[in-house]
Structure 1
């Protein structure tokens, strides 16, 4: 897998999450990624929590090289042009119009390097009424409707991981790969555009299909009711998730696990449609029963009956899960000055392989001298 994009050069002008994630995904497939950072501070994510090697920066920047260029100066722009002249991809998540202000509009880039692929990530697109608005993760989540599927309107507390940032970076990487494939046929680059709003909307096609086909306006429980998914507290105060869907054998298996075969004859629960309609009542029954045994006991019982279910692992428990250990999901590398760095390997395997030991994220400007000499930077 780490040879797929061998000899592909990516110049990353990104900060924070969206573009850095896309760059990291390309690096995991073997691309060389030179991260161009701001003078003095570098990527703002570096300083989260102090220092210049914060956990958020580490999360999104493995396997890259780092240089600093002042793109407000003629020298910095000239050196960037030297990079772009030989690059395959320039990846940026500036606000619309910034590249043009730098003199790096599509016509200029095409003249500089006809094979160059520009990938632009924005909050809302390069035109339209929201074009110039600032955007962070929670904003497109709200606009897209995705937040409405997660928030309790009576107690709207925001929670959970970064979603729209991450999926936008993933869509950007997909678009870049498509542009690279097209270039093998045409010999020319192009402009990949991805925005956070549409990425968030695309992340939940089922909700829009439910509305357009059935008139159902989805809310926080719509999918879990249809899917018959439950998170239940056990006797030891831990959580278990069960997901029986509409598959009859899973429903029957769950009834065997909880010792309540009589529920199969209860008209409120006899069919998938009835269980969806009476989700809250069934959930309360399951909550009462699951509170009588430990998480470990319930997980073992569900597995024995072949019922889809799992412990709700905390973040500190995931690496020790037997399947995660078997998969070798986490990578441990040693940075020469920052010590041990633990990251997540790419979940994509090709012919059973992936990059097992991706290089750690770079220190700020760590590769300046080598890159300057290679590309003939002026002072």
Structure 2
């Protein structure tokens, strides 16, 4: 782990993806993240497929420690409040009102620790007509407008990864980091609130600006058409992608690389605006060209030309990719009891230093005894650190 957030203490009471993703982003930067789980089976994402250590759980809970607490039991709630007393950040992604029912609402925790940065993640915000509705990733993608500009309206299908969940978690981590910087100046904590709706609308800010500035009604095919981005199928059925953007030099290089001079002389494709207007016809013509050779041959051919291109890699392809290996993106998982032995490292480097490993996601209550012992030993014992200054007026 990196040390840029060393000595930052975080209590995360998150489940599934949004809260755990926010905690993971900060843990990857060196923060000491204590994951508070319900006593027993813990975060329900542990058993997303089977058992209590799913690959999905492992993905968002690395570099953390775990303690199991029953918030209905007075002694366990006292332990939770001891953690809050010593924490810099608290993260939860409950439905609005749920935190208050277990004594973890902002007002209660702020009274215990005025310096606390409290992050509340929700689906639709803390109040309003949708606030009480259940929300999952696909719902947030749909209601935010993001899905309408990401799919082909003629063949509507959800996008595979849980984008709204993860993106909201990343936005939450950014908000928390900003609040911590502010607290360094003021000494005071903050209530940071973010919803999946807000995160995904901000993430899709470009099509919103097209609507407000130009009166355009964006669709899922606009971006690739305007950007001149294409996915073509090669002779061996494998997919190949390239992005010509607005520079004619990329079109000229594409024509030269493919040897398809007939495309350049076709009046439908003579200038960029015509290629935009006739995007579907050009896509069909390009598929006919690329269907003449296997993808490996095209990859080898394009390496000699100045065209933004890539094969559409499967996950195993990416793991074996030479640039990925050069960057050291796949690293070992340390301190693992079960689960994957390798994973993707954090994306950052600082002064040229990258993470060489990540710590395995904890098992249920794996660190509970050690955390309780440290809390009982003396104030500030989780872990030892320099005491912070009092809030300034």
- For normalisation by structure 2, the TM-score amounts to 0.93
Deviation at 1:376, TM superposition (A): 2.0
Alignment coverage as a number of residue pairs: 377
1:356 aligned residue: 356
C-alpha separation in 2, matches of 1:173 and 1:369: 28
Deviation, structure 1 residue 70? 0.7
Distance 2:106 2:333 in 1: 39
Report whether the alignment pairs 1:78 with 2:78. yes
Partner of 1:109: 109
Consecutive aligned runs of 4 or more in structure 1 exceeding 6 Å deviation? none
- Aligned partners of 1:8, 1:174: CA distance in 2, in Å? 15
Conserved 8 A contact 1:23-1:91: yes
Distance 1:245 1:306, change over 3 A: same
CA apart distance, 1:287? 0.2
Does the residue aligned with 2:359 lie in a helix, a strand or coil? coil
Determine if the alignment matches structure 1 residue 62 to structure 2 residue 62: yes
2:388 is aligned to none
Q: What runs of 5+ residues in structure 2 fail to find an aligned partner? A: 378-393
Distance 1:128 1:340, change over 3 A: closer
CA positional deviation for 1:36 = 0.4
Post-superposition offset of 1:105:
3.0
**CA distances 1:23-48 after superposition (whole Å, capped 9, x unpaired):** 11101111000000112110101112
User: For residues 215 and 85 of structure 1, what CA distance do their matches in structure 2 show?
Assistant: 51
What are the equivalent positions in structure 2 for 1:210-359 lying under 5 Å apart?
A: 210-338=210-338, 340-359=340-359
Q: Does the 8 A contact of 2:260 with 2:289 survive in 1?
A: no
CA-CA distance at 1:152 after TM superposition: 3.6
Q: CA deviation at 1:337?
A: 2.6
Match in the other structure for 1:191: 191
Mapped partners of 2:261, 2:214: distance in 1: 33
- The whole-number CA distance in structure 1 between the counterparts of 2:260 and 2:339 is 53
CA distance in 2, matches of 1:282, 1:104: 57
Contact persistence 1:82–1:376 (CA under 8 A):
no
Q: Which residue of structure 2 lines up, in the alignment, with residue 91 of structure 1?
A: 91
Task: Say whether the 8 Å CA contact 1:38–1:68 is kept in structure 2.
Answer: yes
- 1:81 and 1:281 mapped to 2: Cα distance? 64
Query: How big is the alpha-carbon RMSD for the aligned residues of Structure 1 and Structure 2?
Result: 1.5
Deviations 1:107-142 (A, max 9, x none): 322221111110110000011110111110000101
Instruction: Name the structure 2 match of 1:41.
Output: 41
The CA distance in 2 between the partners of 1:115 and 1:276, in whole Å, is: 54
Aligned to 2:383: none
Indicate if the aligned counterparts of 2:336 and 2:359 stay in contact, CA closer than 8 A.
no
- Report the counterpart of residue 381 of structure 2 in structure 1: none
Question: For residues 346-372 of structure 1, what are the alpha-carbon distances to aligned partners after superposition, in whole Å with 9 as ceiling and x for unaligned?
Answer: 111111113221111111111011000
Distance 1:206 1:56 in 2: 31
Give how far 1:72 is off: 2.1
Q: Partners in 1 of 2:371 and 2:273 — Cα distance?
A: 62
Once the two structures are TM-superposed, the CA of residue 73 in structure 1 deviates from its matched residue by 2.3
1:216 Cα deviation from its structure 2 partner:
1.9
Give matches, 1:166-181, under 5 Å.
166-181=166-181
* Mean Cα deviation higher: 170-179 or 211-220: 211-220
Q: Deviation digits for residues 278-301 of structure 1, max 9, x if unmatched?
A: 100100000000000111111122
Q: Is the 8 A contact 1:335 1:341 kept in 2?
A: no
Q: 2:255·2:263 contact (CA, 8 Å) conserved in 1?
A: yes
* Structure 1 counterpart SS, 2:362: coil
Which whole-Å deviations, capped at 9, do the CAs of 1:33-73 have from their partners, x for residues lacking one?
00001121101011122111110001101010011001122
Segment of structure 1 superposing worse, 121-130 or 331-340: 331-340
Aligned counterparts of 2:201 and 2:276: Cα–Cα separation in 1: 25
The corresponding residue for 2:389 is none
Distance 1:74 1:339 in 2: 34
Structure 1 residue 316, shift from structure 2 partner: 1.8
Gaps (5+ residues) in structure 1?
none
* Structure 2 Cα separation of the partners of residues 273 and 127 of structure 1: 46
Q: Secondary structure at the match of 1:304?
A: coil
- Displacement of 1:339: 5.9
How far is the alpha carbon of 1:220 from its aligned partner? 1.7
Which residue in the other structure is 2:100 paired with?
100
Q: Give me the whole-angstrom Cα distance separating, in 2, the residues matched to 1:103 and 1:7.
A: 26
CA–CA separation in structure 2 for the residues paired with 1:376 and 1:236: 64
Alignment partners' CA distance in 2, 1:190 and 1:75: 27
- CA 1:82/1:55 → structure 2, altered by over 3 Å: closer, same or farther? same
* Partner residue in 2 for 1:373: 373
